[in-house]
Chain A
Amino acid sequence: MSHVTCIELIAFLDSYVDDELDAETRHSFDLHLLVCPSCRAYLATYRETIELVRGTAEQEEELAHDSPAELIEAMKRVKR
């Protein structure tokens, strides 16, 4: 996999994000990302999507417990 295009990078993006690719494949992905702003944006927004999903669920849990704002902030600091 020396020459990677957008279609391959996006097909295996979950493996890239989870660091499951072998070193050679990962390197060829990194090379494509260097020259392809569209895939850089796709990667960033894919990661942000995962964060949003997790974040929305966490916020829901906290709200369900009807915690005061200070306590929510304290919990967030502990989680980090």
Chain B
Amino acid sequence: MAAFRAIGEFNSESRVSTWLHRIAVNCALMKLRIRARREKDVDALLPAFEADGNQQQSSVGWTETAEEILQREQARALVRRCIDQLPEPYRIVLVLRDIEQLPADIVAEKLKITRDNLKVKLHRARQALRTLLDPHMRGAI
């Protein structure tokens, strides 16, 4: 606050408020931009398709079952790291639905989104995580 008071001594009050207003607007815009980028980031982790509807790159099965993978702490840490890499809105949905296993209507209400939107987000989150895990799971960890 001291800094603001000092500035106030040198500038007229209206100019300071304009300046603060501009900072507030810039912060809001920055947040929106960051959010837009985070939401877009997940697109790169979704499967791509040819014009005829086929997968652009063939999917390959993993060498071990989830149960086998979960036996090893190293592998569990890797799964956690991959979950942490998800853009925030998707990680939140994944945690609330697939980890906490909260009912869809409660999660939708909490996040102030529609149930359809929640369903889309959860599906994207799982697909993105599958893509992040894929290169590791094709070979043993």
Q: How large, as a class, is the contact surface on chain B?
A: 20 to 34
Residues of A close to B1: CB separation below 8 A: none
Mask, B73-94, CB within 8 Å of A = 1, is 0001001100100000000001
Interface residue SS majority, chain B = helix
Q: Which of B7-15, B20-28, B35-43, B57-65 is the contact stretch? A: B57-65
Interface residue SS majority, chain A = helix
* Chain A residues numbered 33-58 whose CB sits less than 8 Å from any CB in chain B: 37-42, 44-46, 48-57
Residues of B close to A38: CB separation below 8 A: 54-55, 58-59
**A interface residues with partner B (beta carbon < 8 Å):** 5-8, 10, 13-14, 37-42, 44-46, 48-57, 59-60
**B interface residues with partner A (beta carbon < 8 Å):** 47, 49, 52-55, 58-62, 65-67, 69-70, 76, 79-80, 83, 94, 98-99, 101, 119, 122-123, 126-127, 129-130, 133-134, 137
